Structure 1
Amino acid sequence: MVKVNLMPNESIILKSKNVMHGGLMANYTDELILTNQNIIHVKKGVFGNTKNVKKYPLNQIKIFNGKSQAILGKQRNGSP
């Protein structure tokens, strides 16, 4: 797992390795981290080096009819 800079009042709730994000050439190399304030996506290269870190604040995720609009997608073969 990669080290991320968290705010003093932020704590990690869940971590997931081997996440796929991108188009046809994407690999299961990325990481996804859920904190009490953000969703953090860590883009990694084939050899495990960190390429980019993006933070998505939880307070910016739209809620519609009581459900969050951030959902887990599926590939054509059914994998998440």
Structure 2
Amino acid sequence: MSTDVKILQSSCCASGSPIKERIKKIAAENSIEISIEELSDIQETAKYGTTAFPSLVVDGEVYDYKKLSSDKEILSILNQ
């Protein structure tokens, strides 16, 4: 079963963000199957009830990306 990951970011920061590559790398190193979608449209991101950008939505749970300072913390939420 694939872990569903959405990256919520403001439209000014949507292109060239290293977040997607970091998550893909962590998932690959730990044999975790993921699907990643990047959202920057304000109407789409507002559906998740957060104004903290960037944020991650992992299987429906919202996390403030700025509070995930280590790969270990990201791995922990990918494994939930």
Shared fold (TM-score greater than 0.5)? no
